[in-house]
Chains A and B, each alone.
Chain A
Amino acid sequence: MRREIPLILTATVGIVYIISFFIPHRPFGSVETLFSDWILIIAAFAIWLGALNLLRVSADKIYRKKKDWFYALVTILSFFLIAIIGFFFSRGSHFQDVGTSFDYLYRNVYNPLSATMFAILAFFVASASYRAFRARSWEATLLLLAAFFVMLGRVPIGDMISGFLPENIRLSEVATFIMNIPQSAGQRAIMIGIGLGIISTALRLILGIERTYLGGD
């Protein structure tokens, strides 16, 4: 039964979802909202599993004095600091209001940290581009040329240096052409493949052919 019940549940939910897409009549029309609510409720309870796991793994690292255990200590302290301030020192259910201690931590600790991680992306884009745009083969050279035209066409200097050309072949127009025609075509081809892949996977899950996500083959 350990396998059968999840399989029956998956098949039932999957079939009901498909039916509700084509039949708006009650009760099918409202099941999507109902199931979404259930997912939210389950996820809300499940968050404790994650939080407890994080604490256990971190505590274990500290207890065993594993390599870099100090970071685990920072994790645990940060966890309790934000939780205690959020629960007890931030006007109860209004903890998200402007001016609360929780809001202060959110704006001055969480936001800058997130922004820092996001900002690092700019440097990684540069290093990845450097590697990707090396003209090692015919395809890579084509990619390099396309990237050259797109990047140059997206900044004012592109039109400045190509200003002597007729308007429809200036760099900004070339960049727009590359993005709208070959790039879009390639992306749509990938999207069609993804769509078919999703249909096929969904069918395998509903029919119970794909069971790996339940554990085992």
Chain B
Amino acid sequence: MRIVRAMSKRNKRINWNLVLLLFIFSLFILSPAFAQEDTLPPSPPTDVMAKDTPNDAGGSITITWKKSADDGAGKNNVTGYLIYRSEEGDRGYKEIGQVAKGSKEFTDGNTKDKINYYYKIKAVNKSGLFSFSEPSPPATSKAQWFSSGRKNTLIAALILGGLILYFISQARAGKELFIRKIAGLDAVDDAVGRATEMGKKILYIPGTQDMDNVQTIAGVTILSRVAKITAEYETPLEVPVSRSLVMVTCREVVKEAYASAGRPDAFKENMVHYLTDDQFGYAAGVDGLILREKPATIFYQGAFYAESLIMAETGNSIGAIQIAGTAMPAQIPFFFASCDYTLIGEELFAASAYLSKEPKLLGSLKGQDIGKAIILLMLTAGILFITTGLWRGFDSLFIVQ
């Protein structure tokens, strides 16, 4: 009886092993390794054309072709294309690059200008079989003197530039220009005054980017005005910065401002000091300063990223008056929620002109405003033309390459 039970158990085991073996075998049968190999090469790419890459500094040819009939269709076994180049046409082809299946273009960025190049495209399939296209007609690379895709940008820049220059000349001639009030900039004097009355410090944060950022430059110009007032009121000023070049520039600006206010003796080099280039390290440093020193007024003027809210909320928690200004669209809502005044985008760039009231600078603001009116007009015209179908191609006028 025991022997019979053991036999039946073994049979069961053998059956399971058989099932397992069959399963593994079927996997092998279905696997690509066992798939039938291609014995014929793929169809070659056709219509290979080569031409100078437009709007560049030369040294580049763009090659285009029609895909192999077996790429995405037919036997659908093309794995990629290899690009070959020759200077002779009928021989001397060398591989210069490869692209994946489905590609129809390759840019050869390693050509010498004024030399004829011929190109062939090799389609390769899964079995390693291949076929060459016919060679392309000769092509030469050359540098262009004008980027034709940027014609519209040039026209827009000339119109805007012309407007700005015109209004600058008008302002120079003594014409009165109306500039709307900017609450955030009107509040600068009051904010400094408040710190003076409280006998507390003013903290000025000129953004977290370097001097090659135009927002930092705008922040530094506002610092000049703030420093002049602090010099006049004898209010302590501290400018912690996150870039060495910004430190040097801010120091120079503050020094000059103190000198022009007749208080060069009140200027101390350590007013402007470096913390760190690191984004959150800087935020931590500024937060520490805010919590320890408890300044009465804090300015945030320049380019900011995620650290904006960390600093502004800490400033808010100590009850400081805060005036922010940035052209980073994602940070504007944060400043808006945490600060008393926020200069939105263009207002940051207008600050220098607004605060100095210098006619030449005010003229540039006026030109900027007229430019905005023209853009508004274009937008309205675009909405009308596209919606009514009067001029479907209107939007293509504004595409920049």
B98 close to A (CB within 8 Å): no
> Which residues of B sit under 8 angstroms from A200, Cβ to Cβ?
164, 349, 364-365, 367-368
B160 close to A (CB within 8 Å): yes
> Which residues of A sit under 8 angstroms from B255, Cβ to Cβ?
215
- Count, chain A residues at interface, CB 8 A: 62
Return B312 CB to nearest CB of chain A, in Å: 8
Across the interface, do B372 and A215 meet the contact criterion of CB distance under 8 Å? no
Assuming the contacts A194-B346, A196-B372, A199-B160, asked whether A118 and B306 have C-beta atoms less than 8 A apart, the reply is: yes
> Which residues of A sit under 8 angstroms from B361, Cβ to Cβ?
204, 209-210
Across the interface, do A194 and B256 meet the contact criterion of CB distance under 8 Å? no
Closest B residue to A209 using CB positions: B360
Closest A residue to B217 using CB positions: A213
Closest B residue to A58 using CB positions: B273
Across the interface, do A190 and B277 meet the contact criterion of CB distance under 8 Å? no
B11 close to A (CB within 8 Å): no
A144 close to B (CB within 8 Å): no
A56-81 interface with B by 8 A CB criterion: 57, 60, 67-68, 71
Across the interface, do A124 and B150 meet the contact criterion of CB distance under 8 Å? no
Return A23 CB to nearest CB of chain B, in Å: 6
Q: Mark A98-135, 1 if CB is under 8 A from B, else 0.
A: 00000000000000011001101100110111011000
Return A125 CB to nearest CB of chain B, in Å: 7
> Which residues of A sit under 8 angstroms from B346, Cβ to Cβ?
193-194, 196-197
A178-217 interface with B by 8 A CB criterion: 187, 190-194, 196-205, 209-210, 212-217
Q: Mark A77-99, 1 if CB is under 8 A from B, else 0.
A: 00000000000000000000000
Q: Mark B191-213, 1 if CB is under 8 A from A, else 0.
A: 00000000000000000001010
B323 close to A (CB within 8 Å): no
Q: Mark B67-89, 1 if CB is under 8 A from A, else 0.
A: 00000000000000000000000
Q: Mark B245-260, 1 if CB is under 8 A from A, else 0.
A: 1011100110111011
Assuming the contacts A47-B244, A190-B345, A212-B253, asked whether A128 and B313 have C-beta atoms less than 8 A apart, the reply is: yes
Among B17-25, B31-39, B329-337, the stretch in contact with A: B329-337
Closest A residue to B376 using CB positions: A192
B266 close to A (CB within 8 Å): no
Across the interface, do A24 and B292 meet the contact criterion of CB distance under 8 Å? no
Total number of A-B contacts with CB less than 8 angstroms? 204
> Which residues of A sit under 8 angstroms from B168, Cβ to Cβ?
209
B16 close to A (CB within 8 Å): no
Assuming the contacts A118-B280, A124-B313, asked whether A197 and B371 have C-beta atoms less than 8 A apart, the reply is: no
Return B291 CB to nearest CB of chain A, in Å: 10
Question: Chain B at the A interface: mostly helix, strand, loop or mixed?
Answer: helix
Across the interface, do A50 and B244 meet the contact criterion of CB distance under 8 Å? yes
Assuming the contacts A204-B361, A215-B252, asked whether A50 and B260 have C-beta atoms less than 8 A apart, the reply is: no
Return B384 CB to nearest CB of chain A, in Å: 17
A49 close to B (CB within 8 Å): yes
A43 close to B (CB within 8 Å): yes
> Which residues of B sit under 8 angstroms from A158, Cβ to Cβ?
none
A176 close to B (CB within 8 Å): no
Across the interface, do A210 and B55 meet the contact criterion of CB distance under 8 Å? no
> Which residues of A sit under 8 angstroms from B14, Cβ to Cβ?
none
A30 close to B (CB within 8 Å): yes
B122 close to A (CB within 8 Å): no
> Which residues of A sit under 8 angstroms from B50, Cβ to Cβ?
none
B161 close to A (CB within 8 Å): yes
B182 close to A (CB within 8 Å): no
Closest B residue to A126 using CB positions: B313
> Which residues of B sit under 8 angstroms from A136, Cβ to Cβ?
none
Across the interface, do B345 and A197 meet the contact criterion of CB distance under 8 Å? yes
B284 close to A (CB within 8 Å): yes
Assuming the contacts A127-B313, A209-B364, A215-B255, asked whether A193 and B280 have C-beta atoms less than 8 A apart, the reply is: no
Q: How far is the CA of A65 from the CA of B346 in the complex (A)?
A: 44
Q: Mark B213-226, 1 if CB is under 8 A from A, else 0.
A: 01001101100110
Across the interface, do B143 and A57 meet the contact criterion of CB distance under 8 Å? no
Return A39 CB to nearest CB of chain B, in Å: 6
Across the interface, do A197 and B368 meet the contact criterion of CB distance under 8 Å? yes
Across the interface, do B224 and A217 meet the contact criterion of CB distance under 8 Å? yes
Across the interface, do B248 and A46 meet the contact criterion of CB distance under 8 Å? yes
Q: How far is the CA of A198 from the CA of B371 in the complex (A)?
A: 12
> Which residues of A sit under 8 angstroms from B273, Cβ to Cβ?
53-54, 57
Across the interface, do A204 and B243 meet the contact criterion of CB distance under 8 Å? no
B146 close to A (CB within 8 Å): yes
A-B residue pairs in contact (CB < 8 Å), sample of 14? A23-B146, A24-B144, A25-B58, A43-B244, A57-B273, A124-B309, A124-B310, A131-B316, A191-B345, A194-B346, A201-B214, A202-B214, A212-B352, A213-B249
Chain A positions within 8 Å of B, measured between CB atoms, are 18, 21-26, 29-30, 39, 42-43, 46-51, 53-54, 57, 60, 67-68, 71, 113-114, 117-118, 120-121, 124-125, 127-129, 131-132, 187, 190-194, 196-205, 209-210, 212-217
Known: A50-B247, A121-B310, A199-B164. 5 other contacts (CB 8 A): A22-B153, A57-B270, A128-B338, A187-B329, A196-B346
Chain B positions within 8 Å of A, measured between CB atoms, are 55-58, 143-147, 150, 153-154, 157, 160-161, 164-165, 168, 210, 212, 214, 217-218, 220-221, 224-225, 243-245, 247-249, 252-253, 255-257, 259-260, 270, 273-281, 283-284, 288, 292, 306, 309-310, 312-313, 316, 327, 329, 332-334, 336-338, 344-346, 348-350, 352, 356, 358, 360-361, 364-365, 367-368, 371-372, 375
